[in-house]
Structure 1
Amino acid sequence: MLPSRLLAAAPLVAMTVLAAPSAHAFDFKTVGTAPAILYQTPSAKGNKLYLAPPGMPLQVMIAYGSWVKVRDMNGDVAWTPANSLAARRNVLVRTPGSRVHSGPDETSAVLMTADKGVLLELADPHALVWARVRHRDGIIGYIKVSDIWGL
């Protein structure tokens, strides 16, 4: 039998575990220096669905031999050779008018405003509320995690 103080703490422990973010909830990769062909099946003989441009972030869902099943920002699912993806991390802005701030808070100066679909390099893949990002023009700042896809 458990002591009463442990029983009283059990709901708090359970809520803490459920609320804790998973360290590896999603595996994201970035299309390498060459465009990646996305196929309907894990085979170069399969139907070609579309071409993913260099730098595009993709969520890796599963690996099958030398192929990976991926999901894009729109939720479309396809297969691509694993060697077409790089470990470098990029994200896409999903909220039009998202602001990149000089610091990780709303009161920091706004360095730029980004439209939906703008590609940003991710500097901290472990961000929870604010992500440190770099724009191709050299601007480095913080954007709300809820405004980006690929994290």
Structure 2
Amino acid sequence: MATLPSLTKSVLLLACVFVAQAATAVDFRSASRHGVLLYQQPQDAAAKLFVVSRGTPLEVLTEQGEWLRVRDRQGSLAWVKKADLSATRQVEVLRSTSVHGQADSASPVVFKAEPGLLLNLLDNARNGWLRVKHQGGQEGFIRIEEVWGA
């Protein structure tokens, strides 16, 4: 049996890694307005499960036509109309924490964030820190494990 040259093996291995990373990428979107309805099934006549407020981050699991299957922070599954979600990303603070001026816990604190606070996600540096913006205008960095929706 013939063997693949080592360069070809390396290229194939690298391609597999990129495919695996893409397959595990998490897609979050936020409710585009107050009063977005989440349904039991992907149809208008389905039972309405609950309502979310503008900015609430939801994890998108799958797409079916004009509907998205989503999961909320508590793990509840539901369907939502695609048009009711925005690509503008927000994250929800999970516990009392500090937002820092730099991506470093030793940097000065810009503001304190309490559980439930929604922050605009500006950037994910992929180093454990997120650059966020408060609705009041302050910007800073928060640890990724302190929020839901990133």
Query: By the TM > 0.5 criterion, same fold?
Result: yes
How far apart, in 1, do the equivalents of 2:71 and 2:123 lie? 21
Once superposed, what is the RMSD of the aligned Cα atoms? 2.3
**What is the CA distance between 1:22 and its match in structure 2?**
5.0
**What is the CA distance between 1:35 and its match in structure 2?**
2.5
How far apart, in 2, do the equivalents of 1:31 and 1:126 lie? 24
Gaps of 5+ in 1: none
Aligned-partner residue type, residue 129 of structure 1:
G
Gaps of 5+ in 2: none
| 1:93 paired residue number | 93
**What is the CA distance between 1:135 and its match in structure 2?**
0.6
| 1:103 paired residue number | 102
Aligned-partner residue type, residue 109 of structure 1:
P
**What is the CA distance between 1:21 and its match in structure 2?**
5.9
| 1:81 paired residue number | 81
Structure 1 moving runs of 4+ over 6 Å:
none
**What is the CA distance between 1:142 and its match in structure 2?**
0.2
**What is the CA distance between 1:36 and its match in structure 2?**
1.0
How far apart, in 2, do the equivalents of 1:126 and 1:84 lie? 28
How far apart, in 1, do the equivalents of 2:4 and 2:83 lie? 52
**What is the CA distance between 1:128 and its match in structure 2?**
3.3
**What is the CA distance between 1:74 and its match in structure 2?**
0.9
* Matched pairs, number: 140
Percent identical residues? 36
TM-score scaled by length of structure 1 = 0.82
CA distance change for structure 1 residues 2 and 67 in 2, over 3 Å: closer, same or farther?
A: closer
CA distance change for structure 1 residues 28 and 145 in 2, over 3 Å: closer, same or farther?
A: same
Cα pair 1:127 1:145 within 8 Å, conserved: no
How far apart, in 2, do the equivalents of 1:107 and 1:22 lie? 33
